[in-house]
Amino acid sequence: MLKKELDKGLQEQLDFMKKFKIENVQFRKGFDDKYNMLQSEYDELQAIFENRPSRNEDLELIEKQKSDIQVMAAELKKAIEQLNFFKLELINREQSYN
């Protein structure tokens, strides 16, 4: 009698475990399908985002910054030339003084 109850309890546990494994596999498959669908949507949105056209305000800002850089580069070049001129002038005056 105890053996029958033990066997019955064991069989119930085995049935429960089989049912649980089947539900787990189904849940996992559903999760994987949902994940793949969301990943596909994410990849599509990422591609759209990366290939979006630039805004006019951004393009104007880029052009303004490029022109500012050119102006600063020209001013820097002029400052370097002046520095070299004054260095040579200083050396020249020092030599003529001595």
User: In total, how many domains does the chain have?
Assistant: 2
Domain range for 87 is 55-98
Are 3 and 46 within one domain? yes
pTM: 0.48
Average pLDDT across the chain, whole number: 93
Query: Do 39 and 65 fall within a single domain?
Result: no
State residue 53's pLDDT score: 92
Q: How would you label 22-37 residue by residue, b for 16+ Cβ within 10 Å and e otherwise?
A: eeeeeeeeeeeeeeee
Per-residue model confidence (pLDDT) at position 95: 87
> Do 1 and 47 share a structural domain?
yes
Shared-domain flag, residues 34 and 69? no
Same domain for 25 and 47? yes
pLDDT digits (tens, 9 = 90+) for 17-63: 999 999 999 999 999 999 999 999 999 999 999 999 999 999 999 99
